[in-house]
Amino acid sequence: MPNEALIVVDMQNDFCEGGALAVPGANAVVPLVNRLIGRHDHIVLTQDWHPPGHASFASSWADAEPFSTVKFSYGPQTLWPDHCVQGTPGAAFHPDLEVTKAQMIVRKGYHTGIDSYSAFRENDRMTRTGLDGYLKARGFTRLIFCGLALDYCVAWSAIDARQAGFDVAVVLEATAAIDLDGSRKRMLTEMRQGGINLSLAA
Give the residue from 8, 75, 81 showing the smallest Cα distance to 40.
8
User: Residue 191's domain spans which residues?
Assistant: 4-49+86-199
Residue 70 lies in a domain: no
In a domain, 13, yes or no: yes
Question: Residue 72 domain-assigned?
Answer: no
Question: Per residue in 157-170, pLDDT tens?
Answer: 999 999 999 999 99
Q: How far apart are CA 107 and CA 15, in angstroms?
A: 15
Is residue 59, in this structure, part of any structural domain at all?
no
Q: Out of 14, 84, 153, 160, which one is annotated catalytic?
A: 153
Q: Say what the pLDDT of residue 199 is.
A: 87
How buried is 104 (Cβ within 10 angstroms: 0-12 exposed, 13-18 middle, 19+ buried)? Answer: middle
In a domain, 169, yes or no: yes
Q: With respect to residue 54, please indicate whether it lies within any of the assigned structural domains.
A: no
pLDDT tens track for 92-111: 999 999 999 999 999 999 99
Give the integer Cα–Cα distance in Å for 55 and 77: 10
* Whether the model pTM is above 0.85: yes
- The number of folded domains in the chain is 1
**Residue 101 among the catalytic residues:** no
In the residue annotation, 146 being an active-site residue is answered as: no
Output phi, psi for 48, to 5 deg.
-65, 135
Question: Which of these is catalytic: 10, 14, 82, 151?
Answer: 10
**Tens of pLDDT along 126-157?**
999 999 999 999 999 999 999 999 999 999 99
pLDDT at 47: 98
Closest to 177 measured CA to CA, from 168, 185, 169, 167: 185
pLDDT of residue 185: 97
In a domain, 161, yes or no: yes
Which residue in 14, 82, 84, 108 is the catalytic one? 108
Is 108 among the catalytic positions? yes
What pLDDT score was predicted for residue 200? 76
CATH number at 135 reads: 3.40.50.850
Residue 11 lies in a domain: yes
